[in-house]
Structure 1
Amino acid sequence: MFRRVLVANRGAIACRIIRTLRRLGISPVAVYSDADRHASHVAQADQAVRLGPALAAESYLRQSEILDAALLTGAEAIHPGYGFLSENASFVDACDRAGLAFLGPTAAQMRELGLKHTAREIALREGVPLLPGTGLLADEDEALAEAARCGYPVILKSTAGGGGIGMRVCCTPAELQEHFTAVARLGLANFGQAGVYLERYVEHARHIEVQVFGDGRGGVVALGERDCSAQRRNQKVIEETPAPGLSDAVRQQLLATAVRLAAAVSYRSAGTVEYLYDADREEFFFLEVNTRLQVEHGVTEEVTGVDLVEWMVRLGCGELPAIETLRPEPSGASIQVRVYAEDPAHAFRPSTGVLTDVRLPEGVRCDTWIERGVEVTPFYDPMLAKIIVRAPTRAEAVMRLQEALGQTSLSGLETNLDYLRTVVATPTFATGGFPTSFLSQVVYRPRAFEVVDGGMQTTVQDHPGRTGFWHVGVPPSGPMDSLGFRLANRLVGNGPSAAGLECTLVGPTVTFHAATTIALTGADMAATLDGVPVPRWTPVPVLAGATLRLGAAAGPGARAY
Structure 2
Amino acid sequence: MFKTVLIANRGEIAVRAIRTLKKMGITSIAVYSETDRYAQHVIDADIAVSLEGTKPSDTYLSIEKLIAAAKNTGAEAIFPGYGFLSESADFARACEANNIAFMGPTPEQILEFGLKHRARELAGAVNVPMTPGTGLLNSLDEALTEAEKIGYPVMLKSTAGGGGIGLTRCDNAEALQEAYESVKRLGEQFFKDAGVFLECFIGRARHVEVQIFGDGQGQVVALGERDCSLQRRNQKVVEETPAAQLPEATRQKLYQAAVELGKSVEYRSAGTVEFIYDAARDEFYFLEVNTRLQVEHPVTEMVTGLDLIECMLKVAAGDTLDWKHLSSIQPQGAAIEVRIYAEDPVKNFQPSPGILT
Task: Report the TM range for the smaller structure's normalisation.
Answer: over 0.9
**1:345 Cα deviation from its structure 2 partner:** 5.3
Aligned to 1:342: 343
**1:54 Cα deviation from its structure 2 partner:** 2.4
The Cα offsets for residues 86-107 of structure 1, whole Å up to 9 and x where unpaired, read as 1111111110000000000000
2:54 matches 1:50: no
Aligned to 1:248: 248
Structure 2 matches for 1:221-236, cutoff 5 A?
221-236=221-236
**1:231 Cα deviation from its structure 2 partner:** 0.4
Contact (CA 8 Å) 1:277, 1:285: kept in 2 or not?
yes
> Secondary structure of the residue that 1:339 maps to in structure 2?
coil
Q: Which has the larger radius of gyration?
A: 1
Aligned to 2:308: 308
Aligned to 2:103: 103
Residue type of the partner of 2:19?
R
Structure 2 matches for 1:17-32, cutoff 5 A?
17-32=17-32
> Secondary structure of the residue that 1:325 maps to in structure 2?
helix
The Cα offsets for residues 506-542 of structure 1, whole Å up to 9 and x where unpaired, read as xxxxxxxxxxxxxxxxxxxxxxxxxxxxxxxxxxxxx
Structure 2 matches for 1:291-370, cutoff 5 A?
291-327=291-327, 328-344=329-345, 346-353=347-354, 355=355
**1:162 Cα deviation from its structure 2 partner:** 0.8
Aligned to 1:65: 65
Distance 1:5 1:129, change over 3 A: same
Aligned to 2:164: 164
Residue type of the partner of 1:351?
S
Aligned to 1:85: 85
Structure number with higher strand proportion: 1
Q: Distance in 2 between matches of 1:38 and 1:171?
A: 49
The Cα offsets for residues 298-327 of structure 1, whole Å up to 9 and x where unpaired, read as 110000001101100111112232423322
Distance 1:85 1:318, change over 3 A: same
The Cα offsets for residues 166-211 of structure 1, whole Å up to 9 and x where unpaired, read as 1111111111111111111211222222111110111210000000
Structure 2 matches for 1:365-376, cutoff 5 A?
none
The Cα offsets for residues 213-266 of structure 1, whole Å up to 9 and x where unpaired, read as 001000000001110001001100110000000111100100000000000000
**1:344 Cα deviation from its structure 2 partner:** 4.9
> Secondary structure of the residue that 1:275 maps to in structure 2?
strand
Q: Distance in 2 between matches of 1:249 and 1:352?
A: 43
Structure number with higher helix proportion: 2
Distance 1:43 1:348, change over 3 A: farther
Q: Distance in 2 between matches of 1:212 and 1:52?
A: 36
**1:108 Cα deviation from its structure 2 partner:** 0.7
Q: Distance in 2 between matches of 1:79 and 1:99?
A: 14
Aligned to 1:535: none
Aligned to 2:148: 148
> Secondary structure of the residue that 1:161 maps to in structure 2?
coil
Q: Distance in 2 between matches of 1:279 and 1:95?
A: 43
User: Alignment identity in percent?
Assistant: 58
The Cα offsets for residues 329-373 of structure 1, whole Å up to 9 and x where unpaired, read as 1000101011344335544433244x4xxxxxxxxxxxxxxxxxx
**1:29 Cα deviation from its structure 2 partner:** 0.8
> Secondary structure of the residue that 1:28 maps to in structure 2?
strand
The Cα offsets for residues 420-450 of structure 1, whole Å up to 9 and x where unpaired, read as xxxxxxxxxxxxxxxxxxxxxxxxxxxxxxx
Q: Which runs of 5+ in 1 are unaligned?
A: 356-409, 412-561
> Secondary structure of the residue that 1:211 maps to in structure 2?
strand
Residue type of the partner of 1:310?
E
Residue type of the partner of 1:165?
I
Q: Distance in 2 between matches of 1:5 and 1:174?
A: 53
RMSD: 1.3
2:41 matches 1:41: yes
Q: Distance in 1 between matches of 2:143 and 2:52?
A: 41
Q: Distance in 2 between matches of 1:344 and 1:222?
A: 40
Contact (CA 8 Å) 1:154, 1:201: kept in 2 or not?
yes
The Cα offsets for residues 106-132 of structure 1, whole Å up to 9 and x where unpaired, read as 001112222111110011110000100
Aligned to 1:219: 219
* Residues 185-194 or 224-233, more deviating: 185-194
Residue type of the partner of 1:339?
I
Aligned to 1:272: 272
> Secondary structure of the residue that 1:160 maps to in structure 2?
coil
Q: Which runs of 5+ in 2 are unaligned?
A: none
Q: Distance in 1 between matches of 2:7 and 2:168?
A: 34
Contact (CA 8 Å) 2:114, 2:161: kept in 1 or not?
no
The Cα offsets for residues 451-478 of structure 1, whole Å up to 9 and x where unpaired, read as xxxxxxxxxxxxxxxxxxxxxxxxxxxx
The Cα offsets for residues 457-509 of structure 1, whole Å up to 9 and x where unpaired, read as xxxxxxxxxxxxxxxxxxxxxxxxxxxxxxxxxxxxxxxxxxxxxxxxxxxxx
Contact (CA 8 Å) 1:155, 1:169: kept in 2 or not?
yes
Aligned to 1:456: none
Residue type of the partner of 2:334?
A
> Secondary structure of the residue that 2:309 maps to in structure 1?
helix
Instruction: Pick 1 or 2: higher relative contact order, CA cutoff 8 A, min separation 6.
Output: 2
Q: Distance in 1 between matches of 2:16 and 2:321?
A: 23
Q: Distance in 2 between matches of 1:202 and 1:347?
A: 28
Distance 1:59 1:322, change over 3 A: same
